[in-house]
């Protein structure tokens, strides 16, 4: 996920200069067990920045 999320954040003008650290804190994965039609993942990030 870091290959997709970090480049997307760095594409925001001015944000990449503020970012110091970005650590994945955890995730929650859910899926439809009955019909197997969908799945989702919620990621929790800790972002450290300096202004």
Half-sphere exposure of 33 (CA within 13 A, CB side): 2
Supply 33's token pair. 């067990």
Q: Whose structure tokens read 């925001």? A: 12
φ/ψ of residue 3, rounded to 5: -70, -20
Encode pLDDT of 14-51 as tens digits: 887 888 888 889 999 999 988 889 999 898 989 898 88
**Rounded Cα distance, 46 and 23, in Å:** 5
Query: Domain locations in the chain?
Result: 2-49
pLDDT category of residue 6 using cuts at 50, 70 and 90: confident
45: Cα separation from own chain's centroid: 6
Model-wide pTM > 0.85: no
């Amino acid at each position: 996920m870091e290959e997709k999320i970090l480049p997307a954040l760095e594409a925001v003008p001015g944000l990449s200069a503020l970012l110091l650290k970005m650590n994945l804190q955890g995730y929650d994965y859910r899926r439809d067990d009955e019909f197997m039609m969908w799945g989702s993942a919620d990621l929790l990030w800790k972002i450290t920045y300096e202004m």
